[in-house]
């Protein structure tokens, strides 16, 4: 039987797997070449932004400036973006520039990670603030969202005279797209605000899904929070699988993010003719597959095209484990089945940090089995997370497709959620 060899994005080095050629469809983003000169493209976007005067003209020399960047779990090359942004702000005293790490509810980033994320020269020359969602004293209350949730945002960021967001736009499993206003909330929001944004009702809404922003109750609320905070300038990039920048969008937050989402939707979302009985996915390799919590995003991407009662095979290294930080692992242990976990989460009085990721996982398991290949977790840990351990991806896929029948088909998403497939209707 002829085989198709596919390199899955897995950890830092990838994982090569052979699949039966006649049954397998490989689904990847439409390849976009990296920009010939990233600094030139970034500089051009900052000097001729959308619906805004050039960045340098907007920022007085005496201003205190806050620049928001993604944390270690995002693949954005901040070490290549920040030097260009700071070059445009070289009329400022560096002591008046603060870089905020938008951790959301993730752990703080270590000094070594900051060096890798920002570049040593930037990390050691500017004030760095790791956001901490769990310290309410560091946040300021700004009222309620239209959907009734409290708005608590990092006070230090709110005190800056000029607020700049930098982000990476990719499809997001329940906020529609990342980047843009997500850098404010959940990026710099307290756990009280995140609980509302990621509450069970929002996660259960069918419009809270990949590729939808307007009409998505979660993204509508995130956008409403950003309108209260009023960032002064935003810069978002799109990336290819080599993490090269393929496009830059800058200027007014709403305008540049809308344009960026349109670009990413056209390049990263792929239609298919019908569902597949077996779907193989990843979480785009390191650093996105550092833990099981993050890897659920790749499972969700596969869920968009898996047939009812089908199977998903996910490969994620999980070098950081479950992780230990947060309540994800503890929630998984509260019940003995995915169905029981989902029922618990959807009760009115249940409100625990990280419940949203368990909810996404268990909603998927209501319609498909999930098999998980990893080197960072033991088979016992995988089973404790209510997933099926998968030692050999090729063997597992062969077994599943054989059980599904002679007409069963396989879809492979080598880049995981860098490609969001959907069934064309």
State residue 217's pLDDT score: 97
Please answer whether residues 167 and 236 qualify as being in contact, where contact means their C-beta atoms are separated by less than 8 angstroms.
Answer: yes
Radius of gyration, CA atoms only, the chain: 21
State residue 73's pLDDT score: 83
Cα–Cα distance measured from residue 6 to residue 196, given in angstroms and rounded to the nearest whole number: 40
pLDDT tens for residues 58-83? 999 999 999 999 999 888 999 999 99
State residue 265's pLDDT score: 92
- Evaluate the omega torsion of the peptide bond into residue 209 and state whether it is cis, within 30 degrees of 0: no
Cα–Cα distance measured from residue 167 to residue 247, given in angstroms and rounded to the nearest whole number: 12
Cα–Cα distance measured from residue 335 to residue 9, given in angstroms and rounded to the nearest whole number: 32
pTM of the model: 0.86
| Alpha helices, H only, 20-154 | 38-47, 55-58, 78-88, 111-118, 120-123
State residue 418's pLDDT score: 85
Please answer whether residues 74 and 168 qualify as being in contact, where contact means their C-beta atoms are separated by less than 8 angstroms.
Answer: yes
State residue 29's pLDDT score: 83
Please answer whether residues 81 and 42 qualify as being in contact, where contact means their C-beta atoms are separated by less than 8 angstroms.
Answer: yes
State residue 375's pLDDT score: 97
Where are the domain boundaries for CATH 3.90.226.30 in the chain? Answer: 3-29+273-423
Cα–Cα distance measured from residue 103 to residue 131, given in angstroms and rounded to the nearest whole number: 6
State residue 74's pLDDT score: 86
**pLDDT exceeds cutoff 90 at 253:** yes
Cα–Cα distance measured from residue 147 to residue 198, given in angstroms and rounded to the nearest whole number: 12
State residue 276's pLDDT score: 98
Question: What H or E segment, with its residue span, contains residue 335?
Answer: none
Confidence of residue 235 (pLDDT cuts 50, 70, 90): very high
Cα–Cα distance measured from residue 62 to residue 126, given in angstroms and rounded to the nearest whole number: 16
Percent of the chain surpassing pLDDT 70? 100
38-267: CATH topology: Rossmann fold (3.40.50)
Please answer whether residues 352 and 378 qualify as being in contact, where contact means their C-beta atoms are separated by less than 8 angstroms.
Answer: no
**pLDDT exceeds cutoff 90 at 124:** yes
Please answer whether residues 224 and 218 qualify as being in contact, where contact means their C-beta atoms are separated by less than 8 angstroms.
Answer: no
User: Architecture of 3-29+273-423 per CATH?
Assistant: Alpha-Beta Complex (3.90)
Confidence of residue 425 (pLDDT cuts 50, 70, 90): confident
Cα–Cα distance measured from residue 407 to residue 402, given in angstroms and rounded to the nearest whole number: 9
For residue 84, what are the contacts with CB-CB under 8 A and spacing of at least 6?
A: 39, 42, 43, 46
Where are the domain boundaries for CATH 3.40.50.11440 in the chain? Answer: 38-267
State residue 219's pLDDT score: 98
Please answer whether residues 117 and 109 qualify as being in contact, where contact means their C-beta atoms are separated by less than 8 angstroms.
Answer: yes
State residue 379's pLDDT score: 98
Confidence of residue 218 (pLDDT cuts 50, 70, 90): very high
Q: How many helices (H) and strands (E) does the chain have?
A: 16, 20
Q: What is the token pair recorded at 221?
A: 């609320």
Please answer whether residues 136 and 193 qualify as being in contact, where contact means their C-beta atoms are separated by less than 8 angstroms.
Answer: no
> Pick from 293, 302, 277, 291: which is nearest to 364 by CA?
302
Handedness of CA 185, 187, 188, 193 (dihedral sign): positive
Percent of the chain surpassing pLDDT 90? 92
pLDDT tens for residues 188-198? 999 999 999 99
State residue 312's pLDDT score: 98
pLDDT tens for residues 34-58? 999 999 999 999 999 999 999 999 9
More confident residue, 348 or 87: 87
State residue 191's pLDDT score: 95
DSSP state of 50: B
For residue 33, what are the contacts with CB-CB under 8 A and spacing of at least 6?
A: 240, 244, 246
Cα–Cα distance measured from residue 424 to residue 11, given in angstroms and rounded to the nearest whole number: 31
**pLDDT exceeds cutoff 80 at 1:** no
pLDDT tens for residues 304-349? 999 999 999 999 999 999 988 779 999 999 999 999 999 999 998 8
Q: What is the token pair recorded at 52?
A: 């805004």
Mean pLDDT of 346-368: 94
DSSP state of 280: E
Cα–Cα distance measured from residue 108 to residue 72, given in angstroms and rounded to the nearest whole number: 9
More confident residue, 353 or 130: 130
More confident residue, 425 or 185: 185
**pLDDT exceeds cutoff 80 at 157:** yes
Cα–Cα distance measured from residue 199 to residue 194, given in angstroms and rounded to the nearest whole number: 8
Q: What do you get for the CA distance between the two ends of the chain, in Å?
A: 33
Q: What is the token pair recorded at 188?
A: 């710099």
Mean pLDDT of 80-100: 98
Give DSSP secondary structure letters for 120-181.
HHHHTTSEEEE--TT-GGGEEEEEE-TTS-EEEEEHHHHT-SEEEEEEE--EETTTEE-SGG
State residue 328's pLDDT score: 94
- CA distances to 11, 154, 296, 326 from 104, rounded to whole Å, are 23, 11, 17, 12
State residue 241's pLDDT score: 81
């Amino acid at each position: 039987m002829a085989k198709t060899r596919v390199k899955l994005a897995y950890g830092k080095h990838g994982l090569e797997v052979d699949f039966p050629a006649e049954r397998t469809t490989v689904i990847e983003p439409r390849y976009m070449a990296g920009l010939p000169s990233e600094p030139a493209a970034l500089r051009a976007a900052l000097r001729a932004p959308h619906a805004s005067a050039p960045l340098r003209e907007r920022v007085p020399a005496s201003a205190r400036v806050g620049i928001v960047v993604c944390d270690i779990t995002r693949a954005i090359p901040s070490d290549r973006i920040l030097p260009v942004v700071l070059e445009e702000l070289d009329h400022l005293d560096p002591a008046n520039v603060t870089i905020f790490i938008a951790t959301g509810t993730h752990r703080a980033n270590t000094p070594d990670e900051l060096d890798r994320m920002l570049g040593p020269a930037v990390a050691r020359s500017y004030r760095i603030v790791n956001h901490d969602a769990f310290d309410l004293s560091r946040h300021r209350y700004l009222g309620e969202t239209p959907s009734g949730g409290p708005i608590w945002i990092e006070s230090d960021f709110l005190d800056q005279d000029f607020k700049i967001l930098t982000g990476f736009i990719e499809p997001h499993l329940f906020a529609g797209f990342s980047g843009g206003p997500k850098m404010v909330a959940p990026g710099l929001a307290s756990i009280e605000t995140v609980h509302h944004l990621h509450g069970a009702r929002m996660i259960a809404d069918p419009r809270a899904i990949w590729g939808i922003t307007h009409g998505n109750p979660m993204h509508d609320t995130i956008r409403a929070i950003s309108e209260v905070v009023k960032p002064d300038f935003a810069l978002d990039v799109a990336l290819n699988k080599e993490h090269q920048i393929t496009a830059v969008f800058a200027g007014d937050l709403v305008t540049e993010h809308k344009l960026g989402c349109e670009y990413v939707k056209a390049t990263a979302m792929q239609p298919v003719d019908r569902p597949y009985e077996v779907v193989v996915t990843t979480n785009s390799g390191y650093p996105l597959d550092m833990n099981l919590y993050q890897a659920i995003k790749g499972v969700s991407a596969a869920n968009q095209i898996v047939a009812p009662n089908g199977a998903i095979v996910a490969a994620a290294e999980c070098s950081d484990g479950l992780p230990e930080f947060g309540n994800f692992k503890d929630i998984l242990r509260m019940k003995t089945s995915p169905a029981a976990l989902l029922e618990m989460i959807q009760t009115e009085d249940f409100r625990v940090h990280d419940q949203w990721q368990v909810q996404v996982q268990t909603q998927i398991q209501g319609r498909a089995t999930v098999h998980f290949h990893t080197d960072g977790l033991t088979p016992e840990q995988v089973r404790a997370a209510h997933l099926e351990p998968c030692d050999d991806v090729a063997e597992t896929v062969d077994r599943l497709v054989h059980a599904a029948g002679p007409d069963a088909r396989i879809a492979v998403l080598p880049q995981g959620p860098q490609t969001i497939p959907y069934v064309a209707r």
